[in-house]
Amino acid sequence: MTGCPVHFDLLDPAIQADPHAAYAALRQHSPVHRLDRPPMWLVTRHADVEAVLRDAATYASDLGMDVPIMSMVMKDAPDHTRLRGTVNRAFTPRAIQHLAPRITAIAEQLAAALPDRAEMVEGFANPLSVTVICEMLGVPLDQRDAQRDAMNRYARDALLAGFAATGMGPPELLAEARIGLDALMRILDTAIEDHLANPRDDILGTLVQEESRGTLTRVELRNLCALLLIGGHETTANLIASGLHWLAQDAALLTRLRAQPDLIPRFVEELARLRPPLQRIARRTTRAVTLGGTPLPEGAMLMLFPGAANRDEARWPDADTLDLARDNRGHLGFGTGIHTCPGGPLARLEARIAFEALLARLDGIALDPARPARPIVGYAAGNLGWNTLPLLLRKRMRPVMVEDVFATLRALVAETLEIEEADIDRTTNAKTTPEWDSLGHMRILAAVEKRFGVKLPRLAAYRVKDVGELAALIETTQSQAGA
């Protein structure tokens, strides 16, 4: 590779797993670097990456190829403006914050079920993120591990299909990934038809209304839903897993965050800077231009590395260090400009709640020496994260109050529904209990608020799936009331 004394190959598994040394060499020796195979320029300095992302007229997102599920990502104005407007109307700050109690209930339930030796990707990060985004999209998803695992696979296959369609993967990869993508599309089609027949106030309901107004076509609606599911799931799960891996190697930081949970949002923001899940952003020049002192022809393909830009010493001193006091405004972990990730606020919220739920229960986290973690590598490794992350968890002694909540709730549900208390456990729900109909649910909530002296958040209370989730919601509401 001319002009750069370091090996760099987009498909090198070692670089995909840990790209930062290679990024540093590129920033220092060849910040706008010509790569011959595939032919493109690699851009690694913060000022250059930011300049490209903020100049949509010179650096187009439309790469001249048809990748339907990347519809909004690979479009320019006016199509991007139209599609992005529909997403913005669905992802309002109020809509995101309204989800906090429900996300907390899911995170608390998952955290409470973790064993001492836990695989944290499939045991926590994936089920949390896929459950949240599926509920936001109005896609039915019960809590069975098999169904959640299937949705994880479909989302990953859809990501692979989009990646392979750009020419970065072989045809056989695209053919294999199409199986999961087709399954995902069938699920989304069912959800869309259900929303047309039974309108609901969720993100998919908002997007369906946009189709009715003629703002979206049905094809665009399907592809946009698939994109939101991929982005809302993969990005958040990878961010959470990266944070857990970091904490497993920094006991002092974990202790500090446990003692000062108000610092967790700063931790999440530094994670998004240091280990942004999305590591590659493609652009194409619309005219001849000079970038970072390097002349580029019209039609040049650029590969931007936000993960490299976010560790640029010219932008932040000691940039490789996680510093909770750092002013990290301007980091590119969620992009910038007109293509800023619309799901960034949701990812931040989910990650914050995830770490709050885990650190409240754990005294320590360590890597499992018997089972090494496996980073994400392969054709889809434009993402940075972990395929598997086995950890050893040292749990805190559970407060008596937490146990009392479930014990009291169990008796309360039995009394309200007039069923045997012995038949009730944390998984007891309306589907398995004939007496737990809509009226029974309202009676349970009324009894809970009277007995525990709390006012449950309405939406989260209506959506609780079982007794375990209701107990977690009561604990969270009590904690917030006492804060």
Per-residue model confidence as pLDDT tens digits over 182-214: 888 888 898 899 999 988 877 888 889 988 889
Question: Is residue 2 predicted with pLDDT exceeding 50?
Answer: no
Residues paired with residue 117 on neighbouring β-strands, in sequence order: 392
| CATH numeric code, 68-395 | 1.10.630.10
Q: Provide mean pLDDT across the span 1-13.
A: 68
Question: Rounded distance, CA 329 to CA 369, Å?
Answer: 36
CATH 1.10.1200.10 domain extents, the chain: 400-478
| Residue extent(s) of CATH 1.10.630.10 domains in the chain | 68-395
Per DSSP, the three-state class of 302 is strand
Residue 381 burial by Cβ neighbours in a 10 Å radius (0-12, 13-18, 19+): buried
pLDDT on residue 42: 96
Phi and psi at residue 282, to the nearest 5°:
-100, 140
Strands in 117-119's sheet, in edge-to-edge order, are 117-119, 390-395, 362-367
Q: For residue 471, what are the CA distances in angstroms to 94, 403, 405, 461?
A: 25, 9, 6, 11
pLDDT bucket at 433, cuts 50 / 70 / 90: very high
Three-state DSSP state, 33:
strand
pLDDT value at residue 402: 44
- Compute the distance between CA of residue 52 and CA of residue 35 in angstroms, rounded to an integer: 18
pLDDT at 122: 92
The encoded tokens of residue 345 equal: 């606020």
Average pLDDT of the residues in 360-389: 89
Greater model confidence, 121 or 177: 121
Region 412-430: what's the mean pLDDT?
89
What are 183-189's contacts with CB under 8 Å, separation 24+?
Answer: 183/150, 183/154, 183/157, 184/151, 184/154, 184/155, 184/157, 184/158, 184/226, 184/229, 185/222, 185/226, 187/139, 187/151, 187/154, 188/137, 188/139, 188/222, 188/225, 188/226, 188/229, 189/222
What architecture does CATH give domain 400-478?
Answer: Orthogonal Bundle (1.10)
Is the predicted pLDDT of residue 365 greater than 60, yes or no?
yes
The residues that bridge with 33 in the sheet, in sequence order, are 42
Q: How confident is the model at residue 400 (pLDDT cuts 50, 70, 90)?
A: very low
Q: Is the pLDDT of residue 73 over 90?
A: no
How many whole angstroms separate alpha carbon 187 and alpha carbon 194?
A: 11
Give the pLDDT confidence of 272-281 residue by residue, as tens digits: 999 998 899 9
As separate numbers, helices (DSSP H) first and strands (DSSP E) second, the chain gives 21, 12
Question: What integer is the mean pLDDT of 231-251?
Answer: 93
- 306 CB-near residues (< 8 Å, 6+ apart): 49, 276, 278, 279, 281, 332, 333, 335
